[in-house]
Chain A
Amino acid sequence: MTNAAVELQDISKSYGSVAVLDRLSLAIRKSEYVVLLGPSGSGKTTLLSIIGGFCEPSTGRVMIDGADVTDLSPAHRPTVTVFQDYALFPHMTVRQNTAFGLSMRRVPERERTAQAEKALEIVGLAGFGDRKVHQISGGQRQRVALARAIVIKPAVLLLDEPLGALDVKIRRQMQDELRQLQRALGATFMHVTHDQEEAMSIADTILLLNKGRVEDVGPPERIYKKPASLFAAAFMGEANLLQGRISNAVNGSVSVETSVGRIPAKGAGEVGRRVHVSIRPESIRTGNPPDGSGITLGKAKLSEFVFQGTHKRCMAAIGEGADNRLLLRLPADSDLTPESSAMLWVPAADVTLINEDAAQK
């Protein structure tokens, strides 16, 4: 693991009897944009604080660039944190804020100013150096916080819900800019958010946390399409989670008996085991599958149409019973109407076996 920018070994954190992080180990490659994603209380911010050095883990070691930094103070770690409230120094100008880290490193004033100006230019705030913090907008403050962090060239930049306080339009724009900034600097970025859309649009790797444990880790596309757990499937967007029992298992494929019939899926598991099958709503197509590549789900009655711009969201009932309802995303130009019927099928590659019974949760 010499190539790891950040390596966590067996990290736990508990407050009294409450475990916030539970024996967490992982390695993050250099120059990656990693998003720590999870609901509130999942431990994502605590994990960021532990990497930044603001919070001591109860057990485990934190390695950055191969060196053990567990006992080092934040100042002595090659990390810088961008705080959720930006934590800009209110009595200083934008330039003084940006140059603060350099000034603490005793960089001569002329060079300090030049580097601060350059950092401000990178974040698109050239010419704002003389403004006071209270004279600029929320989005601009966010940029100053970024400039103040990148000016000291950290190996790992830690961002704690950096876009949480911004309105939607600026948030989108900042997502793109953060992404570009990370590419340009080549540093490792770790970004905490509870917004899965933000995570998917920005991350190289998503680290999905729940109740202090890693639920899933991988590229956004893989986590979305092939979630590793029921939680991951449900948290990453809408999913049809069908409970069932394995009825047949042969070399890497299983058949799962569900309420909508037998569904084949890639994966392993002993016959009789209770599992789930996850199918994303947009994977379900109408009509008849082309030869061999699709799994027919059956004839369904459609209802509850909602037009959502890029698609039409609707429910499909296969036969009777509440368990047989599937969520669909039909193309926006689909001419299917409520109360009409259609054959449903799904490409075999879009079916994910989740070796987990709901009772375990």
Chain B
Amino acid sequence: MRRLLLEVPAWVLLFAMLSFIYLPVVVLVLFSFQGSDLPVPPFDGPSLEWYRRVLANDRLISSLGNSLIVGVASSAVATLLGFLAAYSMFRMAPKAAGLVRVLLIAPVTVANLIVGLGLLIVFNLAGLGRSLVAVGIGHVVINLPLCYAIIYSQFGDQLRNLDNAAHDLGAGDLATMSRVIAPVLIAPIVAAFCVSFTLSWDEFIIAMLLSRFDVTLPVMIFELMRAGLTPEVNAAGTIVFAISIFTAVIAALTMLLKQRRDS
């Protein structure tokens, strides 16, 4: 009886917390299937009308394409640079690596707004202006520390000997990285790429500041909303959400498979 008295409030609290986190998403997804013109109760769907409109909206579709390009390209660059940084830190003497390690991770603490404004000023000074490439560079800046941290966390003693063995057998640094280290660390590399992609995929502030005519999907959705709240925004948002979840699941599965293989 006493256990029940303690457990009931715990369950209620858990339910309240989960609702707080997931209810907005559920509402967003639910009203993307709305039958009428406004994404507010009562729900009178389900209808795929708004998805049809999203697919028919050329600007939305091209912004979705832009987001994919920026996400894939910036994540590829951030993962590659993160891997190279992690391997260098691993090879470097611990003392010398200390400061560099801090400098590599530090950008995580800088707000996206500051990163975006900083890059905007730099690009203007350099005469490059705003573009999708600028957005991509911005995303590399914010994702590189994460990619580095995810990959670096997987370097250990076992890898130390593999690295030594590869060098001992005559492999140079490049061959060691490409033939031994990267294949062994493939799971964290894929995970870093996926995490980086999800963050780039729904990043708004930097994309807003650094893009001009070609915009990414979050910026496009923002513009749609300024024109008025319709279930079309919900439908576009649901697509963004679905792709994020998909990427996150791939990241989780990769790490899970790796753990199972290791054990």
Residues on A close to B: CB < 8 A?
A: 52-54, 73-75, 79-81, 83-85, 87, 89-91, 100-101, 104-105, 134, 148, 152
Contact = CB atoms under 8 A, between A and B. Distances in A.
Interface string B168-194: 111110010001100110100000000
Contacts of A80: 168-169
A88 to B, nearest CB: 8
B47 interface: no
13 contacts: A52-B168, A53-B168, A74-B167, A75-B167, A80-B169, A81-B164, A87-B158, A87-B162, A87-B164, A89-B165, A90-B184, A91-B183, A104-B172
Which 8 pairs from chain A and chain B are nearest by CB? A101-B169, A104-B170, A87-B161, A87-B165, A74-B168, A91-B183, A104-B171, A83-B161
A354 B169 CA distance: 44
Nearest to B159: A87
B164 A74 contact: yes
Contact of A85 (B158, B170, B172, B186): B158
Interface residues of B, number: 19
B81 interface: no
A53 B164 CA distance: 10
Contacts of A105: 170
Contact of B169 (A53, A100, A134): A100
Given A89-B184, A91-B183, A91-B184, A81 B172 contact: no
B68 interface: no
Nearest to A81: B168
Contacts of B261: 134
A134 B261 CA distance: 9
Contacts of B208: none
B169 A148 contact: yes
Contacts of A84: 161
Given A73-B167, A75-B172, A81-B164, 17 more contacts: A52-B168, A53-B168, A74-B164, A79-B168, A80-B169, A81-B165, A81-B168, A83-B165, A84-B161, A87-B162, A87-B164, A87-B165, A89-B165, A91-B183, A100-B171, A104-B170, A105-B170
A75 B162 contact: no
